Chain A
Amino acid sequence: MNRRDFMRTGTFAAMAGVPVNTRTGPINVRPATADAIRVGVIGCGGRGTGATVQALSTSQDVKLVAMADAFGDRVEDSYANITSLERDDWMGGDGDLNARIDVPPERRFSGFDAYKQVLPHVDVVILTTPPAFRPIHFEAAVEAGKHIFMEKPVATDAPGIRRVLAAAARAKDKNLNVVVGLQRHYQTVYKEWVDRIHAGMIGDVVLGRVYWNSAGVWVREREAGQTEMEYQMRNWYYFNWLCGDHIVEQHIHNIDVGNWVMGGHPVRAQGQGGRLVRRGKEHGEIFDHHFVEFEYEGGGRVLSQCRHMPETANRVSEGFHGSNGTAPKPGMILSNTGATLFEHDDADDPNPYQVEHDELFATVAAGKYAHADAELGATATMTAIMGRMATYSGQMIEWEQALESDLQLVPSTFGWDVTPPVTPDADGYYAIPHPGVSRAF
């Protein structure tokens, strides 16, 4: 049955009548007779647009009603891409999405405060700006009583993490579903694999290895007429207050798998990193490589590598070693003698980026409360930030020390003419973290 048949035959209405759970506390429940689930997106880049399309591609009755971005052109580009999306049959599409899109110009918002204007219009909000703004947007969305999909990372500094953790607790009290885009948790090959490791298939896990070694990502060049704030907002990947460095923005996925397998966050971390290849003005202040040793309760270690260097060996993966075997890569478990104990072919598995939206919207449509990912997202983000604190400072960092750090990277006021927290020198270069000297936590 395709989506239209699904809706036409009334299955949706029957499904929406499923009784709510019996959790205590205020229940945020949609009545069974409710109209379409209204969705808004805050952060209309490539990922925000992708997440929006995934939300609109679920089998629930979903309608996109509001969009926001700091930049008006990003909102318009995103709207144009969604409304004109070519969804050829062979791409698995289901015709165009236009029947599910109702975002007239008066509900397309831009500017630093645009997020506030989206919230009154929606039941579910997608938070996909650069991570600097996630704590602010997440707090506001919880305050407004919205169900939430938010991308990782959920902050770039420890004060931001603490705001997210506090708001996560309030979201629980309000029974607000929160899904975080750490999609490996919604990916069959990882779930099956980690379940077996947790069940003891390799014995006690003593060591993990996690990697995001790649060539690096996009750069947006400075353009004439931009204020420093606008330039940094466009080229956000290379500024720590916005991005958190690639160890946070990207490698979080693998670091999170380390936490997942080890059963919690690390107790301390030490490591090293620097900037060898990617040293241009346009590369802001972030490192191009980090290596971190995370130590967990009980002494287990996870070794983490991330690198952004063209023409070097690529690896984006995780592996674990136990007292009784190894789990060399996702979907594979070997005995100590090398015999295959478990192997999962993921070729026909569902797309985890779609699954996370399918599950969120099915839960919301059913009036249920089943997703509370915010704490997981905050813990994974904090772990990656702790790694960055270790590589930037060259010091041993304890978890509490990291989490309680009052080093705030994100400014308190925003505006196109506001001076950002870091500025270039006379030659256009930004100060680079200096292990042993810089304050990093």
Chain B
Amino acid sequence: MIRGLVWRGARRSGLLLTTIAITMAVAVPGSRAAVQALGPGEVRVEKIPGTEIEFSMAFMPAATVRVGSSIEESGRDEDEGPQRQVQLAPFWMGVHEVTHDEYEIFRFRGLDDHVAGSSDFEFDADGVSRPTPPYEDPAHGLGREGHPAVGMTRRAALYYARWLSEKTGRLYRLPTEAEWEYACRAGAEAPFGFGADSAAAGDYGWVSGNSDGVHHPVGSLQPNAWGLADMHGNVAEWVLDTYAADAYAGLPEDTAALGPVAGDPPRGRGLVRGGGYDDPPVRCADRLPELAAWKRRDPQIPKSPWWNTDSPHVGFRLARPHATLTLPEIHAYWDELLGPS
């Protein structure tokens, strides 16, 4: 059952996406019977078709959750409020940040061996929009194998998810802000996924105090209660939404909003969650808008839509709605968000 667009009427800059496909991709299904067998954090290992490269997704149960932070929370920013209830459909969240190894398959056509017709549907590796070569190294020479992919724009992260959706026939996308925050808290309500005390951050994430100024292989510290690694630190993570400081104020006060909302088309100002290796521990509710400084040293006009010159501390992780979508619905979702492929 389709419940309609979420965060309806929110005072957000830019366009709200309104197609059925978008709505379905984020809607709360009418029946939860099918998901009762799955517990929070239950993991499925998946493979990028045509390669031996694996990635893991963890199940996040449906919930009505509170987004934002209370005014008592230490270190709170104004844009984390007012707190609002958001209703989330069940979804799968990447256990790890998308790795360099995964992203390279997308980045280089020569590595993408997936053959058209080798699965149940057509995938045309030559018909995919891929990142153009950057002039400088957006990763600033930091680690590669097993490390998070970094330095891409939000738009590029979206195109990665589109590419993976095409290859697998399942809708992968970026998590929304609400999904990300819910997954970070792992069912609890503390400021950090590991509790209220930031002193424990070093056990769960690479932050300025323990990272030595570089990112580390994903999953090399303790995960949160639902098995998600590096939610605090290592690299900050793009989410689906675009940034509006007053986004929560536009949500209904008295009834749980249906969540989440889809992001604006990719030119809008994005935001990242979770902080990176050069940040102090960043709380679950912290919203970090994209900075112009991340692209400032790009000397070309138009600036690269694929790469930032100065965001080696930013990557992303995937989300996938639990509800099964048909291929036409998946295509419609991406066509609406990014334009026809």
Chain A interfacial positions (CB closer than 8 Å to B): 45-47, 49-53, 78, 81-82, 85-86, 88, 90-92, 181, 183, 213-218, 250, 310-311, 313-317, 347, 351-354
Within 8 A of A (CB), among B128-148: 132-137, 139-141, 144
Q: Which of B22-30, B154-162, B185-193, B290-298 contacts A (4 or more CB under 8 A)?
A: B290-298
Once the chains bind, are B292 and A82 in contact (CB under 8 Å)? no
Residues of B within 8 A of A314 (CB): 137, 139, 141
CB within 8 Å for A90 and B302 given contacts A214-B137, A316-B137, A353-B297: no
Given A90-B292, A92-B292, A51 and B132 contact (CB-CB distance below 8 Å): no
Q: Are A313 and B299 in contact (CB under 8 A)?
A: no
Residues of B within 8 A of A317 (CB): 141
Q: Tell me the bound Cα distance from A45 to B135 in angstroms.
A: 14
Interface presence of B217 (CB below 8 A): no
The 4 closest A-B pairs by CB, nearest first: A46-B300, A314-B137, A49-B301, A92-B292
- B300: which of A50, A92, A347 is its contact (CB, 8 Å)? A50
Which B residues are in CB contact (< 8 Å) with A88?
A: 269
Flag whether B108 is at the interface (Cβ < 8 A). yes
Q: How far is the CB of B151 from the nearest CB of chain A, in Å?
A: 10
Pairwise interchain contact B297-A50, C-beta atoms closer than 8 A: no
Beta-carbon nearest neighbor of B13 in chain A = A88
Whether B289 is near chain A, meaning CB under 8 Å from some CB there, is yes
Most buried by B among A82, A90, A315: A90
- Chain B's nearest CB lies how many Å from the CB of A87? 10
State A218–B137 Cα separation when bound (angstroms). 14
Interface string of B97-117 (1 = CB under 8 A from A): 000000010001011000000
Q: In the docked arrangement, what's the CA distance between A78 and B135, Å?
A: 19
B137 cross-chain contacts in A, Cβ below 8 A: 213-215, 314-316
A311-B108, A316-B136 in contact; A81/B302 too (CB < 8 A)? yes
Residues A46 and B110 in contact, CB atoms below 8 Å apart: no
* Residues of A close to B144: CB separation below 8 A: 313
Which residue on chain B has the smallest CB distance to residue A216?
B133
Decide yes or no whether B3 CB sits under 8 A from chain A.
no
Residues of A within 8 A of B32 (CB): none
Nearest CB in chain B to that of A82: its residue: B301
State how many angstroms separate the Cβ of A438 from the closest Cβ of chain B: 27
- Does B44 reach chain A (CB closer than 8 Å)? no
- Chain A, interface SS category: mixed
Counting residue pairs across A and B whose Cβ atoms lie within 8 Å, the total is 72
Q: For residues 282 through 341 of chain B, which have their beta carbon under 8 Å from a beta carbon of chain A? A: 289-290, 292-293, 295-303
A82 to B267, CA, bound (A): 17
Q: Are B300 and A47 in touch, CB under 8 angstroms?
A: yes
* A313 and B104 alpha carbons, distance in the complex (Å): 13
A91 pairs with B301, CB closer than 8 A: no
Given the known inter-chain contacts A217-B133, A347-B293, please indicate yes or no for A46 contacting B301, CB distance below 8 A: yes
Q: From known contacts A46-B301, A47-B299, infer whether A218 and B133 are also in contact, taking CB-CB under 8 Å.
A: yes
Closest Cβ of chain A to B73, distance in Å, is 25
CA distance in complex: A148, B237 (Å):
42
In the bound complex, do residue A217 and residue B295 qualify as a contact, i.e. CB atoms below 8 Å apart?
no
User: Shortest distance in angstroms between B308's beta carbon and chain A's nearest beta carbon?
Assistant: 12
Roughly how many angstroms separate A82 CA and B289 CA in the complex, as a whole number? 26
Residues of A within 8 A of B141 (CB): 313-317
Closest residue of chain B to A350 (Cβ to Cβ) is B296
Would you mind naming 8 contact pairs between A and B with Cβ atoms under 8 Å apart? A49-B301, A213-B137, A217-B135, A314-B139, A315-B141, A317-B141, A347-B293, A351-B297
- Bound-state Cα–Cα, A251 to B108, Å: 23
User: Which B residues are in CB contact (< 8 Å) with A50?
Assistant: 298-301, 303
Contact across chains for B289 and A90 when beta carbons are under 8 A apart: yes
Output the nearest chain B residue to A45 by Cβ-Cβ distance.
B300
Expressed in whole angstroms, the minimum distance between the Cβ of A419 and any Cβ of chain B is 30
Question: Does the CB pair B292–A353 fall under 8 Å?
Answer: no
A214 to B144, CA, bound (A): 13
Q: How far is the CA of A218 from the CA of B306 in the complex (A)?
A: 13
A46: chain B residues within 8 A (beta carbon): 300-302
The complex places the Cα of A352 from the Cα of B297 at a distance, in Å, of: 7
User: CA–CA, A52 to B292, complex, Å?
Assistant: 19
B278 to chain A: closest residue by CB: A347
Please determine whether B269 and A81 come into contact, CB atoms closer than 8 angstroms: no
Give bound CA distance, A363 to B301, whole Å. 25
How many Å lie between the Cα of A49 and that of B141 in the bound state?
28
Given A86-B267, A92-B296, check contact A53 B139 (CB 8 Å): no
Query: Using Cβ atoms and an 8 Å threshold, which residues of chain A touch B267?
Result: 86
Residues of A within 8 A of B136 (CB): 214, 316
Residues of B within 8 A of A52 (CB): 301
- Known pairs A90-B290, A90-B292, A317-B141; A311 contacts B301 (CB<8 A): no
Nearest chain B CB to A310 CB, angstrom units: 5
Separation in Å of the B290 CB from the closest CB of chain A?
Answer: 7
- With a CB–CB cut-off of 8 A, which chain B residues contact A353? 296-297, 299
The interface residues of chain B lying within 8 Å CB-to-CB of A316 are 136-137, 140-141
Known: A50-B300, A90-B292, A315-B137. 17 other contacts (CB 8 A): A46-B300, A47-B300, A50-B301, A52-B301, A82-B301, A90-B289, A90-B290, A213-B137, A218-B132, A311-B108, A311-B111, A314-B139, A315-B141, A347-B293, A351-B296, A353-B296, A354-B296
B304 — nearest CB in chain A belongs to which residue? A46
Q: Give the distance to chain A from B68, nearest Cβ to Cβ, in Å.
A: 21
A181 to B, closest residue via Cβ: B299
CB distance from A433 to the nearest CB of B (A): 23
In whole Å, how far is A152's beta carbon from the nearest beta carbon of chain B?
11
CA distance A10 to B117 in the complex (A): 68
